[in-house]
Amino acid sequence: MNKRRSGILLHITSLPSPHGIGDFGDTAYKFVDFLAETRQSLWQILPLNPTCTVYGNSPYGSYSAFAGNHIMISPDLLVRDGLLLKSDIEGYVTFSHSKVDYKTVTAYKEKMLRISFKHIHRKLEKDHEFEKFCCENAYWLEDYALFITLKEHFHGVAWCDWPEDLRYRKEEALRDLKEKLKDRILLEKFFQFLFFQQWSSLKKYGNSKNIQIIGDIPIYVTYDSSDVWARPEIFKLDDTKRPMFVAGVPPDYFSTTGQLWGNPVYKWDVLKETGYSWWLKRIEYNLKLFDIIRLDHFRGFVSYWEVPTGEKTAIQGRWVDAPVKDFLDTLYRHFPSLPLIAEDLGTITSDVREIMNMFGIPGMKVLLFAFGNDLPVNPYIPHNHIKSCIVYTGTHDNNTIRGWFTREAGTEERKRLDKYLGREISEDNIHREITRLAMMSVANMAVVPMQDILGLGEESRMNLPATAENNWTWRLLPEQITPTLRNELTEATVLYGRG
């Protein structure tokens, strides 16, 4: 965490692949090679949890805080490992190379995975590696596999509308359905087994090239998830198992009604009584997946905004303190060298800064926020950076640099940018200039989204917050990584001491 280095933000789904979505196949390994060749040592990705169309295919809205997204499994690797025939994956839909069609991709991937399951079904329960995986991950896998199986059994209905004995997890009812649906449950465990085999191999390859993976943990979980169904006692639910309060943020400069996210909020007193066991398992699990962890919405660990269920906006909420010191003390006792990054964007109060300083947790500096009318004292401007932070040109929730410059930056903002850099900046070179600022910063780590490395416009942004459609679909094209691009990135990385 204290080394001077740099890397690229690119989610797995954005990688090139012939199967409609980025996956853990050959192009992922080629991207690791690209990172190594250009002297990068960080690869930041978004959450790897399952996505669903109900939540707009967002990796931040998932049926599980633990499970992996099976549509990232590579069919080509399954063929190589003898789990599919080459004929199994030929003659299907021709996919777009530039955008992800989640509905079509999910149907295709699930068909491939079911074929693979048929090939190995009879041998699976005697497979030592599979048995070991299921045993080591039983604390979440058993509930998740059953949850997904029941979701399918009840045609996608939310768990709160299942029959009462299943909603309340009556042992006899669960036992009967586990026996009745055992093959479907086994199938789901098989999906997870393949996911973690392929991801572990890719991460190991990256580490062998001195690339560390920065992963992302959303603070909240989705209500209709295996986590809430299996452990309702750690969430603020009423007697019918429905949320009493939901998460969000209050009204501010950007929104007069605040943001209503809808996630159930935690019972921090109950979590504390259990020694934060659920969070400890979550952190331990994610440390197997990633080398560095970014905690999303860090201020929510200090105090969080809860809104009574049924409110149409976030206005009528209230701040509730969380036992953050005790929580972080507990984490660091269990994981003394815990490599955390705090997502500290937005309005951050002094108590949040105090906690970050107390525990030495670095925050984020986004350069797209640096050129407001408070420029001399703006915390995001490079001359105010500190070593213990991570500088970004932008994040997955921002426009691209080029898109920001052409569509969002006002006349005065552009003037301040020109003055700060000492020359007039154009649409064609804005991405290089802001990337160079990130590389020059004293911040130990610099991370640049791939779209900004390429100088792409607004049409290539990953996500537009508060919208439900056309997000998370952007994909990198192989031909976009040119020899010139490789040379420019390598030169900048070495020049500014990050290689």
* Residue 458 annotated as catalytic: no
The whole-angstrom separation of Cα 254 and Cα 264 is 23
Task: Return all residues near 166 (Cβ < 8 A) that are at least 6 apart.
Answer: 150, 159, 173, 174, 177
φ, ψ of residue 85 to 5 degrees: the values are -90, 155
The whole-angstrom separation of Cα 116 and Cα 85 is 9
Inter-residue long-range contacts of 235-243, CB under 8 Å, 24+ positions, other chains counted:
235/264, 235/265, 235/266, 235/267, 236/264, 236/265, 236/266, 236/267, 236/306, 237/264, 240/160, 241/160, 241/167, 241/168, 242/160, 242/309, 243/309
DSSP state string for 277-315: HHHHHHHHHHHHH-SEEEETTGGGGTEEEEEETT-SSST
Among 127, 142, 397, 488, which one carries the catalytic annotation? 397
Element containing residue 411 per DSSP (H, E): helix 411-421
Cβ burial of 103 (10 Å; 0-12, 13-18, 19+) is: exposed
The whole-angstrom separation of Cα 165 and Cα 445 is 51
Among 23, 224, 296, 452, which one carries the catalytic annotation? 296
Extract the runs of DSSP E, i.e. beta strands, from 179-317: 212-217, 245-249, 259-264, 292-295, 303-308
The whole-angstrom separation of Cα 361 and Cα 382 is 19
Q: Is the separation of the CB atoms in 20 and 108 below 8 Å?
A: yes
Query: And the tokens for 190?
Result: 């098989």
Among 23, 227, 343, 344, which one carries the catalytic annotation? 343
The whole-angstrom separation of Cα 214 and Cα 294 is 7
* Residue 397 annotated as catalytic: yes
- Sign of the CA dihedral 341, 395, 390, 351? negative
* Residue 343 annotated as catalytic: yes
The whole-angstrom separation of Cα 262 and Cα 245 is 8
**Catalytic positions, please?**
296, 343, 397
